[in-house]
Structure 1
């Protein structure tokens, strides 16, 4: 019997807020970009948190449950559970945070290796290209 408490919408909202504030880095887990998905689910990873976000025509709509949507400690939260409690993680975000998340989602690049000072580093966000790192060849 699993006695672990479910992941709450407030916990996920706090993680998304940290991303919007630049305190955490979000990476894309899919091969398709935010704009390529346009209307559908996009899996992302945020410091070992695995979330699936719903892209509603380039607008962040909600955080969806899937088998890989979980916190680093293994707890899982579901959209159905959050809606039953009256609060969904994305809805708890401010307008400013949501706008920032949408801009970051649009800028995410696929997981790739980048080189800095001749050594490979693992990077999965648009920040790598912004900071002048060269993509792996």
Structure 2
């Protein structure tokens, strides 16, 4: 059985909601943003699960995302620009989410 696919735009909408303070997120796992410098951090947001790449304390990309129904977005470095949810974020949205990740 194949997992249904999420579009990058669908995943971005949740990241945008986080930046705007509409949806709270919580860390899943032991290590926080500063401990996984240049690594992956997983967070949960209203049943959505995001694994985000910390690229030296900057939000690099979304490695994967699952919605509550099980549909998934999986990062593929070979995909063209504009196919990662983080790429849709404005600079303000990225800064807000990075700031929130630092205090989780």
TM-score calculated relative to the size of structure 1: 0.70
Matches within 5 A, 1:101-116: 101-108=97-104
Distance 1:16 1:93, change over 3 A: same
Pair 1:23-2:30 in alignment: no
Pair 1:79-2:78 in alignment: no
Cα deviation, residue 77, structure 1: 1.1
TM-score calculated relative to the size of structure 2: 0.91
| Whole-Å separation in 1 of the counterparts to 2:5 and 2:78 | 10
Alignment gaps of 5+ in structure 2: none
Q: Larger radius of gyration, structure 1 or 2?
A: 1
Cα deviation, residue 85, structure 1: 7.5
Residue 50 of structure 1 corresponds to which residue in structure 2?
49
Pair 1:34-2:33 in alignment: yes
Stretches of 4+ aligned residues off by more than 3 angstroms = none
Pair 1:89-2:88 in alignment: no
Cα deviation, residue 70, structure 1: 0.9
Contact kept in structure 2, 1:51 and 1:63, CA below 8 Å: yes
Alignment gaps of 5+ in structure 1: 109-137
Structure number with the bigger relative contact order (C-alpha 8 A, sep ≥ 6) is 2
Contact kept in structure 2, 1:9 and 1:82, CA below 8 Å: no
Q: How many residues align?
A: 104
Residue 133 of structure 1 corresponds to which residue in structure 2?
none
User: For 1:56-95, what per-residue CA distance to the aligned partner results, in whole angstroms no more than 9, with x for missing partners?
Assistant: 1100000002xxx410111011112893584210011111
